[in-house]
Amino acid sequence: MPNAIGQVRDFGQTGRSPVSKDLDRFIWGGAAVAFFVSAAALGVYEWRDAQHFDRAYTVDWSVAGPPCPTLTASAVQSLELANQNPFAFGGVRGTMVSGAVTCTVLDLAGGRAVRPYTVCQFSSPFVISLKTPRGAVYFEPGVGKPATVSFRDGHLGCVVGAKTTYWGRVPPELS
């Protein structure tokens, strides 16, 4: 049956010219390419932002300082410590005499979870007792001194000092 301009249409045909169909394909194809390029760019941006945050977070938890003095089990018993506060984080268990503790998991690969390890920062522990697969370990950073304990590659380390400034808040470089 002829339409208003004399063209005959079969069922399902619109009567549009081949040029119009090619233009539609070009527009839809361009829109699809633009969508996928935008999605990829957003993914790269999010990845870089996460890398920056992870690096800054690792730096914020990394503490350099003198090693914590260690104590023997008999020396700890002779101190007659009362009110020891237990703490646990992941596979790390122990006690401290006073203060607060906060722990996190970091890794050595700068943002990629390749070799994660645990770090705990203590505000003023006096004595830190840790239970490890190799036995109990005791550190005495000193009265009122903060300490950072790390459990990296099966090795336990303790330094006098901790970055407790931002406990409970996000540091400015991470916000």
Query: Using the 8-state DSSP alphabet, how is residue 167 labeled?
Result: T
Residues 32 and 52 in one domain: yes
Average pLDDT across the chain, whole number: 76
Residues 81 and 140 in one domain: yes
Model pLDDT for residues 53-95, shown as the tens digit of each residue: 777 777 777 888 899 999 888 888 887 777 788 888 877 788 8
Q: Give the structural domain span for 31.
A: 1-61
Residues 69 and 89 in one domain: yes
- CA-closest candidate to residue 102, choices 58, 148, 156: 148
12-26, 29-43, 102-116, 128-142: range with highest mean pLDDT: 128-142
Q: What is the pLDDT of residue 173?
A: 52
Residue with the bigger pLDDT between 161 and 14: it is 161
Q: What would the two tokens of residue 110 be?
A: 């700068």
**84 found inside a domain:** yes
CA 59, chain centre distance (Å) = 12
Gap between the Cα atoms of 141 and 145, Å rounded = 6
Q: Count of domains in the chain?
A: 2
Q: What is the pLDDT of residue 68?
A: 92
Q: Indicate whether this model's pTM tops 0.85.
A: no
Q: What is the pLDDT of residue 17?
A: 60
